[in-house]
Amino acid sequence: MSQMDSADNVYSTQKISPDLISQIVDALRNKAYGSVEIYVENYAVTQITERSIKKLARHFPKKRFSIKVMRNGNSVAVGESVGQT
């Protein structure tokens, strides 16, 4: 068995080895955001690509507002009826 055949057996998709699982788990570990791509060629995993995404904290100022309703020139609290009685 050549060295290439041995590598194909280790990363075969027909008979998944503990080493292949370990490689995939290592790629997934500590991935808060991103992706892991597994490339297969002729029933063998040929490449595992890891992409990391760095999320930047976005600060949005809190918008505060108040509503003032006037009824006959008098201020009415929000939630009070403003219709005619």
Q: How does pLDDT run across 4-44, given as a tens digit for each residue?
A: 566 668 899 999 999 999 999 999 998 889 999 999 999 99
Exposure string over 36-60, b if 16+ CB within 10 A, otherwise e: eeeeeeeebbeebeeeeeeeeeeee
* Domain range list for the chain: 1-54
The answer to whether 51 touches 40, Cβ cutoff 8 Å, is: no
* Rounded CA separation 46/20 (Å): 11
Do the bridges between strand 44-52 and strand 34-41 make them parallel or antiparallel, or are there none, so unpaired? antiparallel
- Give me the pLDDT at residue 27, please: 94
Mean pLDDT value across the chain:
81
pTM for the model stands at: 0.55
